[in-house]
């Protein structure tokens, strides 16, 4: 068996290194192009202690997104956001010191061809890619193209994924494994889903790749609880609701700092 760390790309090496210091990983999400100066949010995320940043490329038909991310995507598209413009704006940014992971639906990946898409990501300084409507058995083509372009294709696991398939997903995922905490769409929830712990536990049995829990993680308490099971959390709708309500980069920095603190407290505790 090859040593996965040796084969790992830059996103995974970064996340593994931080995890191995005992740090709970935080990956906030922003919809690209949501405001004219949206890249300021990225700087705020990095300053608040993000370990990676997810940048959504909005699509007209986001079937896996709840109301908040849908509204964010519609708002960005209405402003004239597009994959090209968002990536152009990203390439103008200085290095934030944390990896960028793009997320979008498969139609936008295919539109100019997967090779051109991955090359454009690379030029914009993006290291990873999440495609929520691309399950593992449809991912052959993109896996090869992304790997050749140096893009780590992150695969998603769900609470109902059977164990053998979970092993395949964990093995073929790059960067980290995205554990979808619940059966449903993106969006804030009152409590962390009960399925989150079991799913994370099942993934851990088959990989030592970093595991990030996403969907419905909205509060410091939920982040703390998620950290007990996973290496870290993805926070999307809780960020974007605030952005849609008019919160600026400093407000988001303060909100993310509370999540950062919660993750750090959880890791300081004897486990």
Residues known to be catalytic:
54, 65
Residue 128 near other proteins by CB under 8 A: no
Residue 180 beta carbon to other proteins: minimum distance, rounded to whole angstroms: 6
Residue 86 near other proteins by CB under 8 A: no
Which one, 108 or 257, has the nearer CB to other proteins? Answer: 108
Residue 83 near other proteins by CB under 8 A: yes
Residue 132 near other proteins by CB under 8 A: yes
Stretch that binds other proteins, among 29-37, 77-85, 202-210, 223-231 (CB under 8 A): 77-85
Question: Which 148-167 positions form the footprint of other proteins (CB under 8 A)?
Answer: 155-162, 165
Q: Which of 157, 130, 34 is nearest to 89 (CA)?
A: 34
DSSP secondary structure letter of residue 50? -
Match 């007209």 to its residue by tokens: 60
Sign of the torsion angle spanned by Cα atoms 86, 87, 90, 92: negative
Residue 18 beta carbon to other proteins: minimum distance, rounded to whole angstroms: 26
Q: Which of 115, 149, 156, 152 is nearest to 133 (CA)?
A: 156
Residue 74 near other proteins by CB under 8 A: yes
Residue 218 near other proteins by CB under 8 A: no
Which one, 37 or 63, has the nearer CB to other proteins? Answer: 63
Q: Where are the alpha helices (DSSP H) in the chain?
A: 4-7, 10-20, 39-47, 67-78, 83-91, 106-111, 114-123, 140-149, 163-172, 195-204, 220-229, 237-244, 249-268
Name the strand (E) or helix (H) holding 55. strand 53-56
Q: Which of 20, 138, 198, 221 binds other proteins (CB under 8 A)?
A: 138
Sign of the torsion angle spanned by Cα atoms 111, 115, 116, 118: positive
Residue 135 near other proteins by CB under 8 A: yes
Give dist(CA 105, CA 236) in Å, integer.
16
Q: Which of 20, 78, 111, 254 binds other proteins (CB under 8 A)?
A: 111
Q: Which of 8, 44, 136, 154 binds other proteins (CB under 8 A)?
A: 136
Length of the chain: 271
Contacting positions for other proteins (CB under 8 A):
59-64, 66-67, 70-71, 74, 77, 82-84, 105-108, 110-112, 132-138, 155-162, 165, 169, 180, 183-185
């Amino acid at each position: 068996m090859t040593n996965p760390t040796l084969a790992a790309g830059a996103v995974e090496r970064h996340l593994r290194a931080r995890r191995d210091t005992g740090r709970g990983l935080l990956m906030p999400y922003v919809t690209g192009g949501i405001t004219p100066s949206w890249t300021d949010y990225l700087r705020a995320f990095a300053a608040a202690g993000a370990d990676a940043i997810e940048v959504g490329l909005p699509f007209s038909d986001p079937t896996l997104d709840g109301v908040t991310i849908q509204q964010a995507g519609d708002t960005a598209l209405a402003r004239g956001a597009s994959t090209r413009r968002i990536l152009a704006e990203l390439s103008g940014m200085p290095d934030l010191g944390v990896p960028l992971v793009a997320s979008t639906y498969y139609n936008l990946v295919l539109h100019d061809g997967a090779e051109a898409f991955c090359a454009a990501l690379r030029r914009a300084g993006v290291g990873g890619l999440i495609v929520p409507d691309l399950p593992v058995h449809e991912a052959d083509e993109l896996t090869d193209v992304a790997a050749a372009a140096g893009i780590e294709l992150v695969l998603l696991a769900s609470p109902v994924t059977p164990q053998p398939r979970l092993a395949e997903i964990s093995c073929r995922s790059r960067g980290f494994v995205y554990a979808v905490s619940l059966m449903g769409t993106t969006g804030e929830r009152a409590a962390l889903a009960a399925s989150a712990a079991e799913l994370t536990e099942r993934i851990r049995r088959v990989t030592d790749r970093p595991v990030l829990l996403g969907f419905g993680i909205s509060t410091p308490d939920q982040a703390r609880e998620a950290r007990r099971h996973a290496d870290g959390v993805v926070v999307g709708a809780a960020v974007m609701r605030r952005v849609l309500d008019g919160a600026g980069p400093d407000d988001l920095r303060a909100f993310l700092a509370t999540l950062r603190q919660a993750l750090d407290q959880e890791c300081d505790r004897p486990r």
